[in-house]
């Protein structure tokens, strides 16, 4: 079990710090709660965090992101669902009411909708896992520091692949968030040693 119930005062303080609304902070707190407990699970070594929310949580992008996206390797659907359930069960133990509203296989992956209730907040997070990449990738292991809880490790999709997936998203769906994320990747000095754009 990892985490604790955040206070209303801290949510208000962080909303001012990040120049955003309380809703974004409360939802991000739930994302941190879920990730920190997910990566305590043994099976999570096959679940690699990626795309927009990874750019914010792991690499410091200023853009708040709604969903949690992963690539999964060599993990059966029932094992994945059990791992997700275990993480949610651990969150319940700190007093955050947690439930899985939806959990199903999709074409090439998994979709879950998870709800968290605490204080006056009622947050829903969509979780998507892709099984499309068959080759197992060596993860980037990142220590995540935050205002929400003690540091914890996250296994991420290698930066080269993460950047490739973001570039593909930009070219295929051209949503504003994809432009922003690619801009962040290109402008961040953090990525220069990790990505070969040639």
Give the pLDDT confidence of 88-138 residue by residue, as tens digits.
999 999 999 999 999 999 998 999 999 999 999 999 999 999 998 777 789
Instruction: Specify the DSSP element, H or E, that contains 68.
Output: strand 68-72
User: What is the helix, strand, coil percentage profile of the chain, to 5?
Assistant: 45, 25, 30
Of the candidates 93, 92, 82, the one whose C-alpha atom is nearest the C-alpha of residue 116 is 92
pTM of the entire predicted model: 0.91
- Looking at residue 194, its pLDDT comes to 54
Is 25 within 8 Å of 18 (Cβ atoms)? yes
**To the nearest whole percent, how much of the chain has pLDDT over 70?**
95
Structural domains in the chain, sorted by start: 8-157 (3.10.450.620)
> Hunting for tokens 């959990």 — which residue is that?
103
d(CA 87, CA 41): 7
Residue 105 φ then ψ, to 5° = -75, 145
- CA separation for the pair 156, 148 (Å, rounded): 20
CB 10 within 8 A of CB 19: no
């Amino acid at each position: 079990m990892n985490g604790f119930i955040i206070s209303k005062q801290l949510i208000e303080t962080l909303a001012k710090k990040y120049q955003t609304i309380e809703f974004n902070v409360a939802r991000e707190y739930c994302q941190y709660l879920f990730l920190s407990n997910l990566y305590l699970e043994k099976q999570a070594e096959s679940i690699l965090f990626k795309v927009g929310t990874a750019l914010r949580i792991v690499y410091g992008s200023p853009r708040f992101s709604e969903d949690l996206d992963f690539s999964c390797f060599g993990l059966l659907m029932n094992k994945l669902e059990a791992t997700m359930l275990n993480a949610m069960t651990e969150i319940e133990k700190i007093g955050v009411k947690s439930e899985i509203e939806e959990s199903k296989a999709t074409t090439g992956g998994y979709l879950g909708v998870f709800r968290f209730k605490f204080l006056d907040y009622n947050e829903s997070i969509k979780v998507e896992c892709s099984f499309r990449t068959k080759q197992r990738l060596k993860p980037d292991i990142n220590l995540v520091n935050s205002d929400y809880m003690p540091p914890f490790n996250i296994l991420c999709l290698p930066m080269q692949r993460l950047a490739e997936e973001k570039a593909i998203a930009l070219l295929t769906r051209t949503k504003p968030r994809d432009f922003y994320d690619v801009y962040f990747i290109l402008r961040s000095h953090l990525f220069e040693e990790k990505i070969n754009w040639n």
